[in-house]
Amino acid sequence: MSGRTRNVNGRTYVILGGWIWSNIERLFAEAEAAEQRGDGRTVMMLMEQLWLVGPGRKATQVDPVYLERARQLLTQAFRPLNGAKSQDGEWSAVDRLGQLTIPVLLIAGGQDVPDIVGAARFMADRLPLVRFEMIEDAAHLPNMERPDQFDGILGDWLVTIGAAKLSGSEA
C-alpha cells in the first residue's frame, strides 16, 4: 500500500484514495518484506488473515468450504504471482460522493479489516441515496462467506429500487 503518510498524536496513518488508513500499514509492510525475501507462504498467510478471515477471528471460526474457495480466489489474484501492478493513486472522489444521484448499496463484513468497515461507514454517511448493510459474521468477501444473506440483501434492495423507479420516486 503506497500513499502519503500523516502523523497524528504519534501514530502514523496512510492516506490513500482520500481515506486515512490506520496502522494496518504494518501488516502490509510485513507482507511486502516477506515478498522481497521470496517468502510467498508468509505473504499468503498475512493476506488470508487480513482479507479472508478478518483480523478479529481465527481461521477455525470460519466456514472451511468458504475459506478454501476464498483461498483459491486469493491465490489467483495475488499480484506478485500474476504480474499485476497496483493502480492505487493520489486521486480521490470522496468530495463528490454527495453528488451521486443513483441508489447505492454498500455491504460490508463486520469481521473485515476495521479500516474497510470505517471506509464503508464514511461513504454511507456521505452518499445521499444509500442503503448500508453490515453482515456481522463475514470478513472481506461477504458475498462468498455468507451468500444467502448477501443475496437476500441484494434482492431486497433491487426490488426496492425497482419499485421506486416504477413509482417515479427515489429509493
Domain end point (choices 82, 113, 128): 82
How many structural domains compose the chain? Answer: 2
The grid coordinates listed for 69 are: 474457495
Please, what is the end-to-end C-alpha distance for the chain in angstroms?
36
- What's the domain range around 72? 4-82
Question: Can you give the pTM of this predicted structure?
Answer: 0.70
Give residue 162's pLDDT: 86
Average pLDDT across each block of 10 residues of the chain; the chain has 171 residues. List them in order: 50 50 69 86 88 86 94 77 53 82 96 90 94 97 97 95 75 56
Separation CA 146–CA 135 (nearest Å): 8
Q: Count CB atoms within 10 A of the CB of residue 47.
A: 20
- Looking at the structure, tell me whether residues 44 and 108 fall in a common domain: no
In a domain, 131, yes or no: yes
123 shares a domain with 160 = yes
Last residue of a domain, one of 29, 61, 82: 82
**pLDDT value for 1:** 41
98 with 161, same domain: the answer is yes
- 9 and 75 inside one domain: yes
Same domain, 70 and 102: no
148 within a domain of the structure (yes/no): yes
